[in-house]
Amino acid sequence: MNKLALYCRIGFEKEVAAEITDKAAEQGVFGFARVQENSGYVIFECYQAGEADRLAREIPFNQLIFARQMIVVFELLTDLSAEDRISPIIAKFQEIQPHFNLKQSTEIWVETADTNEAKALSTFCRKFTVPLRQALREQGWLRFKEVKKSGITLHCFFLQSSACYVGYSYNANHSAHYMGIPRLKFPADAPSRSTLKLDDAILTFIPKEEESKRFTAEMIGVDLGACPGGWTYQLVRRGLFVYAVDHGKMAASLHDTGRIEHCPEDGFKFQPPKRKRIDWLVCDMVEQPSRIIHLITKWLVNGWCKETIFNLKLPMKKRYNEVQTCLQTLADALAHHQLKFRIQAKHLYHDREEITVHVQLKDANKG
Ligand SMILES: C[S@@+](CC[C@H](N)C(=O)[O-])C[C@H]1O[C@@H](n2cnc3c(N)ncnc32)[C@H](O)[C@@H]1O
């Protein structure tokens, strides 16, 4: 019970390894990340007993940028027979009984890595879930009808149909999505597929219960690099009026809403119209990360916006270091101007060679 399994986008295993090693060290936990390139996951082995469980509770999941899910796992179960995979899995779960109250379990997710090869197992996973859930219930586990925040989710992470890791994650500190992937529906009237990136970002960064207060019809947004309008669409859908900045063409359907003004200008030079206080700045321009950080800093420091979501395109190499440098530069600049802020960053499912960052300025009076 001394390993973490972390899921990620294929090709980002080294970034996850670097990140979990750093985050674990911050908690005084040391270990070794096993990386298999293009596998879609990383196993982090802790040197001391019980420490994987501690990391799963104490590393705030929303501070991990590259990991999609974080699970405490046991050693790999291999040679599972097609006739009876359930008995060894139940036996493994029984092993943790002395350490953990499985009566707190609320769900079982039978998962694979997000790679083409592993996904070939997804039909098997779906079918296997039914008898496994039944067998777990017979043990007196998975008794809750609703997902409890204080509970745990059980995981079977299949590498092949004959090999899986068995483990659990804390509902209060994990991705609430199966395989760490939100299932978002592409809105038929959205102007571009990249609309899902902002939808995913809002789902990830803004608590659901706050969404209707953080996006209102009284608010104004600016979208830098807006065309054809997928991100603007998400803001308009949530009620905002949006200045859409781009030399390109915006979708006619967005003009028809009467909730946008298209500004065919350079996003690096654009300034908010006079006497307008911008609530949300979003930015999806394909540019060097350092230029974007400089631009976002300018908006926040000048008080031009209160909250922002933007993308940082990742370089080919040293992606983890570049992300750390960019976020540190931003944090240092905001702190230098005595601003109180919260920064979150995530390699979202809909992000490829980029990450998405959210910054919220906090009212200094509220602390
Ligand atoms: C990835 S696309 C944005 C897609 C958009 N978010 C959507 O969902 O439809 C990037 C856009 O940034 C624009 N862009 C790039 N550099 C720009 C700049 N300096 N000023 C304004 N727009 C820029 C491009 O014209 C392009 O339309």
pLDDT tens column, 220-246? 999 999 999 999 999 999 999 999 999
Tell me how far apart the alpha carbons of residues 352 and 339 are, in angstroms, rounded to a whole number: 31
Burial class (CB in 10 A: 0-12, 13-18, 19+), 138: exposed
Q: Is residue 259 assigned to a domain?
A: yes
Q: Is residue 239 assigned to a domain?
A: yes
Tell me whether strands 241-245 and 305-313 are parallel, antiparallel or unpaired. Answer: unpaired
Task: Give the residue from 147, 180, 213 where a domain finishes.
Answer: 180
- Expressed in angstroms and rounded, the spacing between residue 207 Cα and the centre of ligand 1 is 27
Q: Which atom of ligand 1 is nearest to the CA of 197?
A: 8
Q: Is residue 255 assigned to a domain?
A: yes
Residue 313 appears among annotated catalytic residues: yes
In a shared domain, residues 171 and 276: no
Nearest to 242 by CA among 265, 272, 269: 272
Whether residue 246 has its Cβ less than 6 Å from ligand 1: yes
Nearest to 238 by CA among 218, 255, 258: 218
- Expressed in angstroms and rounded, the spacing between residue 330 Cα and the centre of ligand 1 is 22
pLDDT less than 70: residues of the chain: 1, 364-367
In a shared domain, residues 144 and 222: no
Whether residue 266 has its Cβ less than 6 Å from ligand 1: yes
Q: Number of structural domains, the chain?
A: 2
DSSP secondary structure of 121-136: THHHHHHHHHHHHHHH
Q: Render pLDDT for 137-194 as a digit per residue (tens, 0 to 9).
A: 999 999 887 878 889 999 999 999 999 999 999 999 999 999 999 999 999 999 999 9
In a shared domain, residues 83 and 160: yes
pLDDT, residue 272, reads 95
Q: How many residues does the chain have?
A: 367
Give the closest residue (by CA) to ligand 1 atom 24. Answer: 225
In a shared domain, residues 247 and 277: yes
Q: Is residue 185 assigned to a domain?
A: no
Q: Is residue 186 assigned to a domain?
A: no
pLDDT, residue 309, reads 98
Nearest to 160 by CA among 112, 211, 92: 112
Whole-structure pTM over 0.75, yes or no? yes
In a shared domain, residues 214 and 296: yes
Q: Containing domain of residue 360, as a range?
A: 195-366
pLDDT, residue 148, reads 83
Q: In the numeric block, which tokens belong to residue 156?
A: 């079977």
In a shared domain, residues 256 and 297: yes
Identified catalytic residue from 14, 103, 148, 313: 313
